[in-house]
Structure 1
């Protein structure tokens, strides 16, 4: 039997990943819960510790690359992200079912740039004064031609471009999960919420990263990699994210067949409120699985074959 009605719309918001600081490691790591909201368990529902394994069943990994790559691409760059999916948590004793709406993505981790190679040109050693060019030697130097100047400008431009490309290549990504744990099967709406939360964190992360060292970032604070920060911009950004999550966790669930919840994620001029409602217990339960999902996962021919088998009651 289904348990009692849960008055909370969302039970927990969980951030899953790896605590490993080895950015060059290509080994698969065991995912853990990096952060959770709220930090304490509910009296009627304790957060299962194996949620991390449901979010990342294949393990957590780091990938070095300039940008996340598309599906079925080269393994040298981040792959197939972001991806959202749904899993169920069933209590063996009470037979209660909870749901997890998870978004897996690749979170950027800054890396220290490699040390510059020493040039083989005539650079004075430590403690050695550079030799000045005399007036006679200076007068005998050939004047630079326009073509030489253009070549020098081109060489400087190429060096700057190579430095910019090398700094981009140094970016490392790690698999990270944002997950909503809930009693209610509003999968489409919850997927929109977790995607918006990811976008909000990413935008605030980029805004603070452009004005501050990569060592103090919004993602670093939320993931627990930075216990404290001296940046007021990062602190305000993290507080803004936590307030948004607190409001979501404080939202009540709609009473089946009686109430309806209008949840404003953004101002109405930017986004319409999300509407949550449950049918009366005397009616069929809510099934919010999108119709295109089996077609996307199995393909058109296999999906039609399964539907035909179901209609003809064939195994």
Structure 2
């Protein structure tokens, strides 16, 4: 597996790449700010660093782009923007584009305030998963024709506003993002997927740490053959279906209490350590270089023997 870091359109990212010297970088890519990335893309090109794009997008009125939106026009515009992102990746010789499956309701997103607002009722789940799979199949074929790997990522069951303030996890709500079921269906249909360990764990909105670990392990095993991208993350209580971002030296991760904890993460990574076609990174809220070094140590440990995690 290849180990990378998350970067964005800032001078800090260039310094992080130089300091970390990762195998690859994943770029947090807001398609509406395309011009802001030229400097970073040029740096990646000159340094010969492999890269992938993590697509995010909103329409001019703030509508969150999604392949499962109730409105056909929004779905069509979403496809156009993802195709454009694939074209950008191909132009810069980036290797992959990662997307989320999308919400099945009209949701407004504001990147500046880190907020979501549900603006309409959701579409029936089975119908929305069908719409997503149809459009994702076409995008998958288009990406393949451009020499780009397209992945769809697992997402948490619930969201909260103020994304990087962990205390806001206590105020969750549903944005009707397509559940784990949709990503599992994509994998079963033969398409590439991305397994964010924290997101997959957050597919449960209640339960004990043992319950969450069991669900994560089962889903990871099912998706493993079609997994090309892994986000190494974890949850700490409450296990309420929300995401969490922190460093890999968090006491809950290293000492127990998190899901997955460090030992459980090594077990999950063992499926990927000898696969050269899998990209693996972590997404801390800060200190990407320091966290990358922790990830390298974790990956090295996963190559060797690991004590079995307790049965759930």
TM-score range, shorter chain: under 0.3
Higher RCO (CA 8 Å, separation ≥ 6 residues): 1
TM-score by length of 2: 0.28
Higher helix share: 2
